[in-house]
Chains A and B, each alone.
Chain A
Amino acid sequence: MTDPTTHLTEEERQTLADGTIGADRAQAARAHLRACEACADDVARLERTIMRGRQLEEPSTDVGELWPGIRSRIESTKVVTLPAEPAARRAARPLVAAAAIAAIAAVLVIAVWLGVRTKVGTDDRMASRGRPDTVASIAFVDDSVRAYKEEAQVLLDRLELTRSMLEPGAAAAIDKDLAVVDSAIAELQTAIARDPRNPELRRLLATSYREKIEVLERVSNAG
């Protein structure tokens, strides 16, 4: 055990560091630490990590004390000041509401009539443009793309920080995959610039960003 070329096992190092090593093995293991600088350094590092972990277990500030401040900040953002409404507009409100209901009913009747007429014979063709849900769909997918983009940037920054610690071959594989995904994203962005109201293109862009995030998330496993 005191032979400096034969090191302590993972288990021995871990249990030495957290103090759970059996009494029968403790003496020999400590003797090895005195003779082996590598094991001694590793155990010291583990001890420091455990110490830091134990300190973190005791929060320096009571979370209960912080909560009122957090709550007041959340509540303050909920309040929206509305502009003052003229009395004439308030009086006209029932008429406007009735007109709106009538308009919606008319639109529904026309939509149902058109739906019945177009169902026959148009099963094979889908028109994505001009649908009433297109604008909402684009907005929804745009939100996803924005969120994916931000997440991808965070993960890219993390990749640069951890690149030197990656397993051999992992960095090359990640770079290759990222190049493929980035090329797809660039093509889609060009296509969207030409056809900005196409929700299918935006869905494909969101999917590509999601793929990019998944590639980047694998970086944390490759270290």
Chain B
Amino acid sequence: MKRIVRAACTVFVTAAAASAQTRPAAPILRARHAAPTVKVKVFHVAGSLTLIGWDRDSIVVRGRVSRGDGFYLSGSDSGVKFGVESRVPEREDPLPCDLVMYLPRRAQLSVKTVSASVTASDVSGWFYSVSGNLRLSGSATSLDAQTMSGTLDMAVTSPWVRARTGSGHLLLRGSPQDVDVATVSGTLDFAATGVLRAQAVSVTGDIHYVGAPARGSIADFSTHSGAVEFVMPASASGVFTLSSMSGPIENAFRQIRPAGSPTQGMRITLGRGDSQVTVRTFKGAIRLRTQ
């Protein structure tokens, strides 16, 4: 499974790079010098926004803005804000447009969109969208991403990641160290490796975990009515504390029947018990499966 995830990541990165190269470059809207840790604030209503971290001390924005809309970028070397606004009185919001921004890798972003999708690689910061899909990849110092009804796909290497969706699918890949992910009713797929601290929560969405807990890691999975499914290699090592008020608990690693009390719970030690995993549900099923 690890190989499949790795291959999928490689295909995704290659496809993204190829698509960026084959697409004709849109005209430069603005370019300016920027400090390596420049703070960048973006408000983009509709369309798409691509953010690419690079090793230069400058910011470049490319794209085409619709007639009647205006692009603005203001600020200093240490902080800029940019976006597109309507400059005609007949409509409040600008029309959808596609923007591509190159910025220093260590820049701190604050991105907000309404329906615009965001694709970002090798950048850090805060990302928020009402209904847009967010796709974040590469290395980052920290990432905080939220979308209310869009989907969220993270394939990142980062010391700290926080991700939230409302009804959208949440997919976590890559190698983040400290993870805090939650969804209300979307499906949460947890396929990240090397995670040391994790908290994954859903209300009704199912949680799928694929991989093996890292040695010394602590993870907490909680859902009200979603199912929690762990697909792990036979070599997985950890102490699994599983409890469900009324959902079934299935363990494919050992033949154990769940307790018949109202508080159903079991503790299972796999391998040498090198990690600690707690799973808690109200009525969702808990399943441990082998790969």
Binding site for B on A (CB under 8 A): 5-7, 9-11, 14-15, 38, 123-129, 167-170, 173-174, 176-177, 180-181, 184, 187-188, 191, 195, 198, 200-201, 203-204, 207-208, 210-211, 214-215, 218, 221-222
Tell whether A221 pairs with B241 under 8 Å between CB atoms, given A173-B130, A177-B167, A211-B184. no
The A-B contact count (CB < 8 A) is: 132
Nearest B residue to A215 by beta-carbon distance? B184
- Interface residue B24 (Cβ < 8 Å from any Cβ of A): no
Residue contact B245 to A173, C-beta cutoff 8 Å: no
Tell whether A211 pairs with B70 under 8 Å between CB atoms, given A126-B241, A204-B222, A218-B146. no
Of B11-19, B84-92, B228-236, the stretch lying at the interface with chain A is B84-92
In the complex, 21 of the A-B residue pairs with CB atoms within 8 angstroms, ordered by the A residue number, are A7-B70, A10-B74, A125-B259, A128-B243, A167-B114, A167-B130, A168-B114, A169-B114, A169-B115, A169-B130, A169-B149, A174-B148, A181-B184, A184-B203, A187-B283, A198-B263, A201-B282, A204-B282, A214-B182, A218-B166, A221-B128
Q: Which residues of A contact B85 (CB under 8 A)?
A: 10
Residue contact B72 to A123, C-beta cutoff 8 Å: no
Q: How far is the CA of A201 from the CA of B74 in the complex (A)?
A: 51
- Interface residue B135 (Cβ < 8 Å from any Cβ of A): no
Query: Smallest Cβ distance from A4 to chain B, in angstroms?
Result: 9
Q: How far is the CA of A201 from the CA of B263 in the complex (A)?
A: 9
Q: Which residues of A contact B88 (CB under 8 A)?
A: 5
Which residues of B, 189-246, contact A by the 8 Å Cβ criterion? 201, 203-204, 222, 224-225, 241, 243, 245
Residue contact B185 to A177, C-beta cutoff 8 Å: yes
Nearest B residue to A184 by beta-carbon distance? B224
- Interface residue B169 (Cβ < 8 Å from any Cβ of A): no
Residue contact A170 to B130, C-beta cutoff 8 Å: yes
Q: How far is the CA of A73 from the CA of B32 in the complex (A)?
A: 54
Residue contact B74 to A218, C-beta cutoff 8 Å: no
Q: How far is the CA of A186 from the CA of B89 in the complex (A)?
A: 47
Nearest B residue to A7 by beta-carbon distance? B87
Tally of chain B residues near chain A (CB < 8 A): 48
Contact pick for A176, options B167, B243, B259, CB 8 Å: B167
Q: How far is the CA of A81 from the CA of B259 in the complex (A)?
A: 50
- Interface residue B280 (Cβ < 8 Å from any Cβ of A): yes
Q: How far is the CA of A66 from the CA of B184 in the complex (A)?
A: 45
- Interface residue B269 (Cβ < 8 Å from any Cβ of A): yes
Q: Provide the B159-186 mask, 1 if CB < 8 A to any CB of A, else 0.
A: 0000010110000000000000010110
Q: Which residues of B contact A181 (CB under 8 A)?
A: 184, 203
Nearest B residue to A221 by beta-carbon distance? B128
Q: Which residues of A contact B167 (CB under 8 A)?
A: 173, 176-177
Q: How far is the CA of A173 from the CA of B245 in the complex (A)?
A: 29
Known contacts A170-B148, A174-B148, A203-B222; 16 further A-B pairs (Cβ under 8 A) = A7-B70, A9-B72, A10-B85, A15-B74, A123-B267, A123-B269, A127-B265, A128-B243, A128-B263, A129-B263, A181-B203, A195-B262, A198-B245, A203-B280, A204-B245, A204-B281
Q: Which residues of B contact A211 (CB under 8 A)?
A: 182, 184, 201, 203
Q: Which residues of A contact B70 (CB under 8 A)?
A: 7, 9
Query: Smallest Cβ distance from B148 to chain A, in angstroms?
Result: 4
- Interface residue B266 (Cβ < 8 Å from any Cβ of A): yes
- Interface residue B1 (Cβ < 8 Å from any Cβ of A): no
Q: Which residues of B contact A207 (CB under 8 A)?
A: 201, 222, 280
Q: Which residues of A contact B185 (CB under 8 A)?
A: 176-177, 180
